[in-house]
Amino acid sequence: MPGIPVVSFDTGPDRYRHLRLEIDGEIAWIRLKVDEAGGLLPGYELKLNSYDLGVDIELADAVQRLRFEHPQVRAVVLTGGLDKVFCAGANIRMLAQSEHWWKVNFCKFTNETRNAIEDASEFSGQIYLGAVNGTAAGGGYELALACEEIILVDDGSTAVSLPEVPLLAVLPGTGGLTRVVDKRGVRRDLADVFATRAEGVRGQTARAWHLVDEVAPPSRFADTVRERARAAAARSRRLPGGPPVTLTPLDRQVSDTAISYQHVTARLDRPAGRVGITVRGPLQEAPPDADGMHALGAAFWLLAMCRELDDLILWLRTNEVELGTWVFTTRGDIGTLLTYERLIDETLGADWLAGEIRHFLKRTLNRLDVTSRSLIALIEPGSCFAGPLLELALACDRQYMLDGLPEDSAAAQAGEPAQIVLTPGNFGAYPTASGLSRLASRFYGDPAHLAKLEQEAGRAIGAAEALELGLVTFAPDDLDWDDEVRIALEERASLSPDALTGMEANLRFPGPETMETKIFARLTAWQNWIFTRPNAAGPEGALRRYGTGQPAVFDKKRA
């Protein structure tokens, strides 16, 4: 896209342009006050608290910092910082001028941020309330939908709406259609009316249709929001524990051929369209208790590695869209790595930080699951694919494990062939969007085999046995390893990126649908298709004509 800058996901409260984060004891306030001139790209103004990727990067950062840096917070109020404006949704001018891949990546990150809000309410005991103090249209109402409660000002004019279908010829792509029905229980016929009524629904009707939980006149609105926030804080299940953990800036080094952090490195092979990603295990064992974990803070290996991997996924997804194959390797000692998972397991029910680290790793792996790239794991001597890092291999589309020892290697001299280790965490601690573990997804419909694998947890498994157990795709020996891996990667690069994206997205989520899989799979697939259609994105389409006073010209054929 012409003029697009390199996008960094680094930010912090001292650099926010679009929102304010305020802490008042057990209650936090996120006030959205978008700088109209602060768009990430030129060519549009962020009027009426409309948002682009830059705004959402700040919101995602605020949600994350509340979980780690403000453990005392038990309720979060999300509200508008402009008079009679909550949020007007995604900026239409930005969408109209963006290329397809930018729109899709923007929508994906926005969805992940909404999911993080819901995750914080459900698992962190930081319950989100949407205080809709004015216009809440499209993605603005979808932002409120991510909250556990919605309080609407009843001033005779403020409405909630999902106007994408009647005004823009697209869908409420941040989960609006799904959350209205699946989460809030709005009747299907009323949802149909709501999603085709551009002006939306106000006051008591919005409450009667279950679009909001409470309405209050302007004179009572602020008090009602505070009362409900205090009630939410009182019922929160936020765990106690040690002191806050400051999320210090990441040390990311970027060149044309590599992106490097302390624990994660990516090598960029542009001619091959490929990225080689190496995750390094810890050099020292985990501290003995939660006090030691808190003392290390952001330097605690599992948290530090997770932050780096999450940042790398976002960086590559946004800034390196033509590098379509990601190849994962690990390096480190399996025994040392597993001391970190054991510490998390031992402190999980008593300390908030243990839970936050585990849920952060879960969300990072889920971000990988929905990334439109081919994912390949190479398990070699010296790897540490065990427990939480075995999840990284299981998230990949294929796993290759070297059977034996390569000649003239350090591993051969030490006599240490490749091994993997299952742990109890691999059987449910890091569920996918479908609610299943990656092993349950891998062996969907075969509970007997899953039960057999549980009996194998805790011991080293070599390549031949891993192949027999179905834990890897192929286990070539040293003679065939280089050729098999090379051919597989070259074959992948020769295939259509669009076909691969569709195939991978379908195969990664077997089994039951959840609200999250509907948003990322069913809804996203339709939105992606609609974004390419002339009715929405063509020169006379609704996105292009919006705000010009000219009606869109539609091809009336149903396809």
SS3 30: strand
Confidence band, pLDDT 50/70/90 cuts, at residue 41: very high
Percent of the chain's residues with pLDDT above 70: 98
Model confidence at 1: pLDDT above 50: no
Amino acid, res. 385: F
- The mean pLDDT of 505-533, rounded to a whole number, is 87
Per residue in 478-491, pLDDT (tens digit) is 999 999 999 999 99
pLDDT (0 to 100) of residue 519? 87
In whole angstroms, what separates CA 247 from the centre of its chain? Answer: 18
> Which residues are within 8 A (CB) of 514 and not within 5 positions of it... i.e. 6 or more apart?
433, 434, 435
Average pLDDT value for residue range 537-555: 91
pLDDT at 409: 59
Sequence ranges of the domains in the chain: 13-235, 253-503
Rounded CA Rg of the chain = 24
Structure confidence at residue 411 (pLDDT): 54
Task: Give the tens place of pLDDT for each residue, 272-291.
Answer: 999 999 999 999 999 999 99
Whole-number pLDDT of residue 414: 61
Tell me: pLDDT of 532 over 90.
no
pLDDT in tens, 92-133: 999 989 998 999 899 999 999 999 999 999 999 999 999 999
Lowest mean pLDDT among 317-326, 432-441, 536-545: 536-545
311 pLDDT band, cuts 50/70/90, is very high
CATH topology for the 13-235 domain: 2-enoyl-CoA Hydratase; Chain A, domain 1 (3.90.226)
Quote the pLDDT of residue 408: 63
Query: What letter does residue 424 receive in the DSSP assignment?
Result: G
pLDDT at 526: 83
DSSP string spanning 460-528?
EE-HHHHHHTTSSSB--BHHHHHHHHHHHHHHHHHS-HHHHHHHHHHHT--S---HHHIIIIIIHHHHH
Is the torsion defined by CA of 7, 320, 496, 402 positive or negative? negative
Cβ neighbours of 105 (radius 10 Å): 21
pLDDT at 187: 97
More confident residue, 211 or 557: 211
pTM listed for this prediction: 0.95
**One fold for both 13-235 and 253-503?**
yes
In whole angstroms, give the CA distance from residue 86 to residue 79. Answer: 6
Tell me how far apart the alpha carbons of residues 329 and 377 are, in angstroms, rounded to a whole number. 6
DSSP letters along 248-303, please? PPP--EE-SSEEE-SSEEEEEETTTTEEEEEEE--SSPPPSSHHHHHHHGGGSHHH
Query: Considering the chain, what is the average pLDDT of its residues?
Result: 95
Assign a CATH topology to domain 253-503.
2-enoyl-CoA Hydratase; Chain A, domain 1 (3.90.226)
Rounded Cα distance, 181 and 522, in Å: 14
Sign of the CA dihedral with 56 first, then 62, 63, and 65 last = positive
**Residue type at 503 in one-letter notation:** M
